[in-house]
């Protein structure tokens, strides 16, 4: 039987084409070491800009503690928002010694959480330490500032940071501790006998429900970024029902719901929800040294932290797409890359005292 020459050529070429289709993407995809280097990029560039992330914490209504980066590590600073006074928060060497081990005083792995009187409470691992006239581990149930009130949440959110809740059953009946997952589904974790205490590992944003032996609910509690204590004394006061039409709070909104911060002309403004009036809070923002939309409101809504950013010269970074979907040749793309220089945070008063 006669076979046309073009068909013989097609049959011969088919295996070659198949091989090329299998080999070409492998070569274009890069070697194993290329992928390993790509996975290390985030770690290699992390924390290369001093004070790009301040890790600020409002430890009470008018006191801010933040981590100030230095070339040799970091130190914690304390700011009184009422006066603007700024000072080192505590004796770093003394705390490192109290924590034990080989902890470097210039790189303390702690998180400030609250003020209890004049004492600063910080988290290290799963414990809370009190820094005052002396440094000692704090008992959560003895610190009112570490108490957690029910909030009516019905499902968990977030979950990126380790946290903890200590439940203390001060009633005469057993209670169940139930985790509400991200869809609101219940999962029972523990039962506390009368007078018992239970330490529950959890994550920030996760919600825990307390249910009595008769099936009634005694409040739901949302874990914070640091360990908190839940003292169960019985049914809590009736929780206010949230309106379904109530908009979800933005990061730019004050915690008391009175203000919303925004940037205009490189400066910080706030808008009062009740009246709609706007007020300019900063005057020194410029195109070369403007404020960015990154907010940290005090609990009472009277102060907020705003950060000025002075961008460096814009650079262009090139990326090669070796196997674009719409063509055979590689395609080069470029995008802007800026190295920001972050100044110290500016405390801005959002309302009069």
pLDDT, tens digit, 9 for 90 and up, residues 41-96: 766 666 566 666 778 888 999 999 999 888 788 999 999 999 989 999 999 999 99
Question: Which of the given ranges, 22-26, 106-110, 349-353, has the highest pLDDT on average?
Answer: 106-110
Rounded-to-integer distance, Cα 346 and Cα 28, Å: 48
Residue 282 lies in a domain: yes
Same domain for 76 and 93, yes or no, is yes
Give CA–CA dist 302/64, Å, rounded. Answer: 13
Please give the pLDDT value at position 344: 57
249 in a domain, yes or no?
A: no
| Residue linked to tokens 């280097």 | 37
The answer to whether 15 and 306 are in contact (CB under 8 A) is no
pLDDT in tens, 110-137: 989 888 888 999 988 767 899 999 999 8
Sign of the torsion angle spanned by Cα atoms 75, 109, 298, 341: positive
Q: Please determine, for residue 268, whether its predicted confidence score (pLDDT) is greater than 90.
A: yes
Are both 287 and 327 inside the same structural domain? yes
- In the block, tokens 């190295």 appear at 339
Indicate whether 254 pLDDT > 50.
Answer: yes
pLDDT of residue 24: 44
> For all residues of the chain together, what is the average pLDDT?
81
User: pLDDT (tens digit, 9 = 90+) per residue, 319-352?
Assistant: 888 888 888 888 888 877 665 555 556 666 655 4
| Bridge partner list, 208 | 179, 221
* 222 inside domain: yes
Q: Of 353, 251, 343, 262, which Cα lies nearest the Cα of 303?
A: 353
Q: Is residue 21 part of a domain?
A: no
Torsion sign over Cα 213, 216, 218, 223: positive
129 and 170 share a domain?
Answer: no
**Which one of 144, 170, 204 terminates a domain?**
144
Decide if 15 is inside a domain.
no
Residue that is last in its domain, among 93, 125, 144: 144
Q: What is the pLDDT of residues 211-232, one digit of tens each?
A: 999 999 999 999 887 778 898 9
Tokens 């506390």, residue located: 192
C-alpha span between 123 and 302 (Å, rounded): 26
What pLDDT does 313 receive?
67
Query: Does any domain span residue 96?
Result: yes
What pLDDT does 20 receive?
Answer: 40
Q: State whether 160 and 220 are in the same domain.
A: yes
Element (H, E) at 174: none
How crowded is the C-beta side of 296, counted as CA atoms within 13 Å?
Answer: 21
Window from 24-33, 105-114, 165-174, 329-338 with minimum mean pLDDT: 24-33
Whether residue 188 is found in the same domain as residue 265: no
The mean pLDDT of 6-13, rounded to a whole number, is 44
Q: Which domain holds residue 213?
A: 152-232
Query: Above pLDDT 70, what percent of the chain?
Result: 78
β-bridge mates for residue 207, sequence order: 180, 222
CATH number of the domain within which 195 lies: 2.60.40.780
* Residue 123 sits in the same domain as residue 157: no
Which residue, chain included where needed, has tokens 């005090």?
A: 298
Q: What is the pLDDT of residue 17?
A: 39
Q: Note whether 267 and 345 are same-domain residues.
A: yes
Q: How many domains does the chain have?
A: 3
């Amino acid at each position: 039987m006669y076979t046309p020459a073009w068909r013989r050529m097609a049959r011969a070429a088919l295996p070659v084409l198949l091989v090329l289709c299998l080999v070409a993407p492998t070569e274009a995809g890069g070697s194993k070491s290329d992928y390993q280097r790509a996975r290390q990029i985030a770690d290699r560039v992390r924390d290369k800009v001093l004070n790009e992330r301040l890790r600020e914490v409002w430890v009470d209504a008018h006191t801010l503690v933040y981590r100030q980066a230095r070339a040799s590590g970091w130190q914690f600073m304390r700011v009184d928002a009422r006066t603007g006074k700024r000072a080192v928060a505590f004796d770093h060497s003394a705390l490192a010694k109290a924590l034990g081990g080989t902890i470097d005083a210039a790189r303390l792995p702690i998180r400030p959480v609250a003020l209890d009187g004049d004492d600063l409470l910080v988290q290290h691992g799963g414990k809370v330490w009190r820094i005052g006239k002396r440094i000692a581990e704090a008992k959560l149930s003895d610190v009112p500032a570490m108490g957690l009130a029910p909030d009516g949440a019905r499902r968990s959110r977030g979950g990126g940071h380790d946290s903890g809740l200590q439940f203390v059953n001060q009633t005469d009946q057993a209670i169940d501790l139930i985790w509400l997952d991200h869809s609101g589904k219940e999962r029972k974790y523990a039962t506390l006998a009368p007078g018992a205490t239970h330490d529950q590992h959890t994550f920030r944003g996760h919600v825990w429900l307390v249910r009595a032996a008769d099936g009634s609910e005694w409040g739901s509690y949302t874990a914070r970024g640091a360990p908190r204590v839940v003292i169960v004394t019985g049914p809590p006061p009736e929780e206010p029902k949230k309106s379904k039409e109530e908009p979800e709070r933005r990061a730019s909104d004050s915690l008391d719901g009175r203000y919303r911060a925004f940037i205009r002309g490189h400066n910080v403004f706030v808008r009062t929800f009740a009246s709609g009036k706007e007020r300019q809070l900063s005057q020194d923002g410029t195109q070369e040294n403007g404020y960015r939309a990154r907010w940290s409101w005090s609990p009472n809504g009277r102060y907020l932290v705003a950060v000025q950013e002075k961008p460096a010269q814009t650079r262009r970074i090139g990326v090669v797409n070796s196997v674009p979907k719409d063509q055979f040749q590689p395609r080069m793309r470029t995008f802007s890359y800026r190295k920001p220089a972050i100044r110290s945070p500016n405390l801005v008063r959002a309302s009069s005292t």
